[in-house]
Amino acid sequence: MAGIGLTVAVPHLAPGPQITTPLGHAGATAAVLTLSAGAACCAAWAARVPAVRFALRLTAAGAAGVAAVLGSATGCVACLAVLLCSLAAGRTRHRGAGLAALGAVAVLVTGLTWAVAARTVPGGLAAALEERLTPHRVQLWQDAWHLLRDDAALGVGPGRFGELSTTSAQSLMSDGRPHSASLQQAAEQGIVGVALLAAAFVWVLYALWRSPRPAPVALTAGAALTAVAVIAAIGNALSFTAVSVGAGLLAGMATARPLTEEPSSPAPDTRPRGAGRTPAW
């Protein structure tokens, strides 16, 4: 609810025809609403009362509705995807396979953005993607790719993309970022920065795999964080404090040891990893 309220109350997080709003605020709106939906679904799995569980899932659906009202199609799709993944998580036997699939989705989308930046996508698909992503965004990605090629190891330096990017310099509403988390890391901090960013995401997935929380909670959080990673791969979401703090908060809640015993559930693999095993004597 806090995330939904933040999205509605803070004008710079809401997409729209604001003359002072640079490209990227729509991504922040989608990311905050996605994290809100993920938190609500995680709380639903932890709830003991069926009515409370239903109300929390209804809140997650409400986040998708808010995204639709604000005109954020990406946010609406992401919230619904998190809700559906959360419902499916109750039938997943092994959280490891689910988390691996989520990681593969993030890698696939990130790889596609790099392929677009490197101009290795086939002509027909490239034209369709450029129309959807906007030519300006694609040109920013291509500038980031050229900067990476100039200094692949360490990049051009943090915060220097805006002054070295031709597309960014020619834009009246530029914020000096390529609007892709991985490409920004690549351009400004080189392969080392990309490796650190990837390691952070892999570590979160590993922590969710080892989490003492039930599997549906871990998988729901993983779905929400993967959706945010996808949004960040094609936008500027991680440049907003509310997004990065919200992602850390959700990951922390999903990996922390519960203060009280989790409610029992008939769904498979809902116990913490290692629980219920008979020790060998």
Question: What are the C-alpha distances in Å from 55 to residues 52, 176, 187, 231?
Answer: 5, 42, 44, 27
Can you tell me the distance from the alpha carbon of 219 to that of 214, in angstroms, rounded to the nearest whole number?
9
pLDDT above 70 coverage of the chain, percent? 83
Evaluate if residue 149 carries a pLDDT over 50: yes
Asked if 272 and 95 count as a contact pair (C-beta separation under 8 A), the reply is no
Quote the pLDDT of residue 61. Answer: 96
Helix axes 135-150, 181-209, angle to 10 degrees: 90
| Residue 90 belongs to some domain of the structure | yes
| Residue 271 belongs to some domain of the structure | no
Quote the pLDDT of residue 279. Answer: 45
pTM: 0.85
| Residue 268 belongs to some domain of the structure | no
Quote the pLDDT of residue 5. Answer: 53
CA 29-42-27 angle, 5° bins: 15
| Residue 278 belongs to some domain of the structure | no
| Residue 266 belongs to some domain of the structure | no
| Residue 279 belongs to some domain of the structure | no
Give the containing element (helix H, strand E) for 260. none
Tell me what the pLDDT averaged over the chain comes to: 85
Can you tell me the distance from the alpha carbon of 212 to that of 247, in angstroms, rounded to the nearest whole number?
19
pLDDT tens digits for range 258-267: 776 655 444 4
| Residue 94 belongs to some domain of the structure | yes
Give the containing element (helix H, strand E) for 271. none
Number of domains into which the chain is organized = 1
| Residue 269 belongs to some domain of the structure | no
pLDDT above 90 coverage of the chain, percent? 64
Q: Identify the residue whose tokens are 């604001």.
A: 18
Evaluate if residue 169 carries a pLDDT over 90: no
Can you tell me the distance from the alpha carbon of 38 to that of 60, in angstroms, rounded to the nearest whole number?
7
pLDDT tens digits for range 73-88: 999 999 999 999 999 9
Quote the pLDDT of residue 258. Answer: 75
Domain that holds residue 47: 2-15+23-255
